[in-house]
Each structure stands twice: as structure tokens, then as C-alpha cells.
Amino acid sequence: MAASTAAEFSISRSWQSDRRGPVRWILSHALRHKLLIAGIFIGALGNGLGAGVVALYIGQAFELMTQSSDFQGLGWIALSLIGSQLIRGVLMLGRNFCSEIIGQRVERDTRDELYLNLIGKSMSFHDSQATGDLMARATNDVREINLMFNPGLNLVIGSANFIIAPFILTPSIHPQLLLTPAIYVLVYIFLLRGYLGRLRPATESVRREFGQLNAALAEAIDGIETVKGAAQEPKEIGRFERALGRWRNAYVGQGDVEARFFPLLLLGLLQAAGLLHSLLLYQWDRLDVGQVVAFNAMLMLFQFPTFAAQFAYSQVSSGISSARRVLELLNTETELDQNAGGYDGPMDGSIRFEHVTFSYNGASLALSDVSFCVRPGQTVAVVGQTGAGKSSIAKLINRTYDANGGQIAIGGVNVREWNLEALRKQISIIEQDIYLFSRTVAENIAFGCPEATRAEIEAAAKAAQAHDFIMNFKDGYDAVVGERGVTLSGGQRQRLALARAFLTNPRILILDDSTSAIDSATEDKIQRAIERAAEGRTTLLITHRLSQIRWADLIVVLRQGRVAMVGDHETLLRESEAYRNIFARYE
């Protein structure tokens, strides 16, 4: 099996899929169920032979009726026909059951593999992806892989056995009768190859445009407040309709390809040529009437593969196109790796930046030649104008991103040499854009520490000045907040985030303008809570609040991505013009 690609976090599995191509990948999942695959092929062969036996029995019955009135013989033929079809029915049931089970299990396993892979991807990967398109791949494309097995491959394998069965049974009538079916199959394969070649880009276009359609919808819904605030509903509706039109055109294009399925025309020629050939052999006394009837009834078996293939191969092609889209995500390399064998010991909280340079996805530099040192237990304020690079420093400390140049040491260890999980468990970041999950208040507070008791959760909430407003909810800590915390005010969201951080008891606490949505009265309470939480740990304050800046042991002044100066409040007021300019804005 192919080796897995790098990811921030990966969960070990008992087996590894083969990601060298969409077909290999699908097969690696399907071949885990070999007994079910055998059941499909046995059932399909039994179905084909069972259908062919019907033609033979019809021919024998016809011959008996034309030669004599042997009703006893007709009775035995009828009983044999009933028995064969009962066996055929059981085999068909088993084949459909096996096919459905494989499809469901492959969908489950591929969905699980994709979810684990996406969770492990770096932020730079997610920054470059449209959420709607990711959701389309994780839901609709994975579902298409299921449908590729049933009814797609189920019908393909079944139709193939309807082609094989006449070649097994026809020699019992007369070997020369194989000529017409053989010519048909050769031409059928030739035409089918061309059809599949035209079908692949059509199905890929449909899957791609559906992803873009989903992305347009997700973006509009996610930004619905901005859309309504700017009264841009008509523009967004038009944008969605254009995406819908492109998807529709791609779907119609696939329909055009399916409509030009030339084997349908070939079927009529097969039946005419087969009838002519059998009548010639009858005229030459090499066949009797019953055998002519049996052979032409046998040719009717080719109707199923001819008609079913038009739909089945489209379903298979769509499944492979979907697998290619899913595999594209799985095989996308990430810049970060878990470094499972890295350092995983406790940290003392020290931070050292040495000539650090960083940019987002190769864009203009966010940080340039940044150097500063933070001792364990210090409280550091990082200040600067908007866009100076303050939040970028926070994201480099816990390796949300990796620096492009220079070196960062956390706890005296190069940040790249840390076990990523051990590093992040000892660092807690509270950002401006607080993300809360659509879960209970208690679950949101305990997100980084799921084993916490209710008493510990309440203690953290009290420390963050969140307990009082939580108890005002009807269900208290069991109240469910809306997705992203939309049912809460900005100040409430930030206090829950503070409680979440306090509960994890990190060695490094980073507050990225985390009190911006809190009123002055509440800020005083939270300020005291932060001071208590900062005792014995390193705290980084990315803030514009003057009270927090003055309180810091060390202040790092950033200007256009560079360190303008480092010092305490009094020193910077005397010696740093950049710091005085920032301070003057709020005085």
C-alpha cells in the first residue's frame, strides 16, 4: 500500500488504503470484503445462466409441442423451469445484498478516512479551500462512490454475465451459432471504449460544477449577515443562479453523451443477424425448430447488458470522478506534520523568536526579521497598528503555521522539534473571532479538557466571570448554544472562551484582543481573573486596552511586520515614537 501523506495529526489504523489512483483507492477499500465480492460474482453468474436456461427450456418445450403432445415432458420442463428460477432468485437476492453491503461499508470507510484526513490538515490547507466544495466532496462525492457499487458495478457485473452466459450455453445448441454473438461482443467493446472516453470528462465536469455550486451556496449562507446588511440579496441570488446554470449545463452535457450510446443500435443488428444465421442452419438441417427458437430467445439476453450499461457505466464513471476528487484532498501534502516522535515533555513557558520571517501562502510578508525573548512567567503585551503582524506571532507559537525563515523556540526547544499535540496542549489561544460549537455550554467550556468534572467547569466559568449569565439560561450549563455561538453576545462568547482556556491550565496563555467585546465593568472583573490566571505561566496579550498594556512586564512594539522596540511601558514612552503614537490614539 502507498504511504500516507503528511498531516498535522493522524490516527493510526489497522490498514492503509492505496492512494496511487482513484481505481486503486476504491479497490483497496472494496477488497477488504472479498467474501462479499465473491457473492456478487457468483450471484451474477447464476443470474445469467438462469436466464439462459429459460431460453433452452422454451426451445425444448416448443420442440415437444411441434413433434408430439408429450404433456408429461412439458410438465417436467415446467417444474425444471420453476426450480431453476427459484435458485436464480436466491442467487440474485444474495448478489444484491452483497453489493449493497459493500457500497455502504466503502462509503462508511471512505467518509471516515476523509474526515480524519481533513481534521489533520494544516490551516494553510484549509485557508485555500472553499468550505462548500469540501462539504460537497465529503458528502455528495462520497455518496456517489457508494452508488458506484450499487447499482453501478452491480449492474455492470450482472450485465457482463448476461453476455457470458450465451457463450456457455449456445454450444449446446450448435457451436456455429457463436459467430454472431462473438462479432457483436467485439463491436460492443469497441463502441463501449469510445463511449467511456467521452463519458469521463462529462461526469468530471458535473462533479466539479456541483462542488462550485455548493461552495457558492455555503459562502452566501455563511455570510448572510453581511449580505443582508449591504442589501445584496439580488446579487447573491444571481451569483447562485449562474453557478446553478453551469451545473445544469454540465449535467445536460453528460445526458448528451449518454444519448449517443451506439450499442443500442447494435442490438437490433445482432437479433436480425442471429435470426438469419439460425434459419440458414435450420435450412441446412443442422438445427430443428426448437433450437432456432432457443437460440433467438438466448439472444434476448443481450438486451439487459445493452440497456443497463447506458445507466450503469454512467454511475461507475461518476463514482470514479468522485473518487478522484476525494483522493485529491487525501493526497494534498500539508506543510506541518505531527512529529509524533518529537519532544513531549513539560515546558517552562519561555518563548524566543530569532530573525523570524513569515508570510501567508507566499503573499506579502506578515513578519520580517522578528526577534524577541520572553522569560517563563512573564506577561507580554504585543502592540502595533492593524496589520502589523500581532496575530501572526500567536499563530506561530503553537505552530498553526510554520515560519518561513528564522527560528522559534518554546520552552527552550525548537518549535519544529516538539510533538505537535504536546506543544498545543500546553498553549491556549483565545482569539478575536471566538468559535463555539452547537453544543451545551458545559461541553464548549470543556472542549479542550473533555474529562473535566462539572465542578471544574463551573470553577473555570466563575474565574472568567461567566457563571452568572450562564445560570440565567433556562438550562444553565446544559443550555445549547447556536452554531458559532450566534445565540450569545460577543462578550458572552469571549467569557466562555476564557473559561475554556482557564480549564486547560496552559503553560502559555495567549489573549488575542480577547476582551474587545466586553464592557468596562465586566472588563475589570475579567482583568482580575486574567491576573490570577497569569500567575505562574507565560501570558501574551495582543491588545489595544491601555490597562492591559501598562500591566505587562514586557511590551513588544510591531510596525509593518518588524519589531520597532521591546521594553517596559515607561521605557517605551521615553524612547519609542511608534509606541507613543499607538498610545496617543487611546488617550
What are the tens digits of pLDDT across the range 469-485?
A: 899 988 999 998 876 66
Rounded Cα–Cα distance for residues 151 and 71 (Å) = 42
Instruction: Report domain extents, the chain.
Output: 22-330, 351-584
- Overall fold of domain 351-584: Rossmann fold (3.40.50)
Query: How sure is the predictor about 149, in pLDDT bands with cuts at 50, 70 and 90?
Result: very high
Predicted pLDDT of residue 525: 64
Question: Nearest to residue 313, comparing CAs of 192, 462, 453?
Answer: 192
pLDDT tens figures, 413-450:
999 999 988 898 899 888 777 788 888 999 999 988 88
Rounded Cα–Cα distance for residues 497 and 236 (Å) = 33
What's the whole-model pTM score?
0.78
Question: Which whole number is the average pLDDT over 276-288?
Answer: 92
Predicted pLDDT of residue 529: 66
Angle at 10 between CA 8 and CA 12, to 5 degrees: 160
Handedness of CA 321, 324, 326, 328 (dihedral sign): negative
Residue 37 CB coordination number (10 Å): 17
Block residue for cell numbers 489504523? 13
Determine contact, residues 552/569, Cβ cutoff 8 Å: yes
Question: Nearest to residue 199, comparing CAs of 308, 314, 330?
Answer: 314
Rounded Cα–Cα distance for residues 151 and 318 (Å) = 12
Determine contact, residues 195/262, Cβ cutoff 8 Å: yes
Q: Ramachandran region of residue 399, left (φ > 0), alpha (ψ -120 to 50) or beta?
A: left
Rounded Cα–Cα distance for residues 143 and 442 (Å) = 34
Predicted pLDDT of residue 206: 92
pLDDT tens figures, 489-527:
777 888 888 888 888 888 999 888 766 556 666 666 667
Question: Which whole number is the average pLDDT over 52-63?
Answer: 89
Above 80 in pLDDT, residue 240? Answer: yes
Q: Residue 540: beta bridge partners?
A: 380, 510
- HSE-CB at 538 with a 13 A cutoff on CA atoms is 23
Above 60 in pLDDT, residue 151? Answer: yes
Predicted pLDDT of residue 544: 73
Predicted pLDDT of residue 517: 54
Question: Nearest to residue 409, comparing CAs of 369, 352, 339, 356?
Answer: 352
Above 70 in pLDDT, residue 327? Answer: yes
Above 80 in pLDDT, residue 272? Answer: yes
First to last CA, the chain: 64
Determine contact, residues 88/42, Cβ cutoff 8 Å: no
pLDDT tens figures, 38-47:
999 999 999 9
Question: Nearest to residue 374, comparing CAs of 530, 515, 509, 576?
Answer: 509
Block residue for cell numbers 436466464? 51
Q: Is 22-330 a domain of CATH 3.30.70.920? A: no
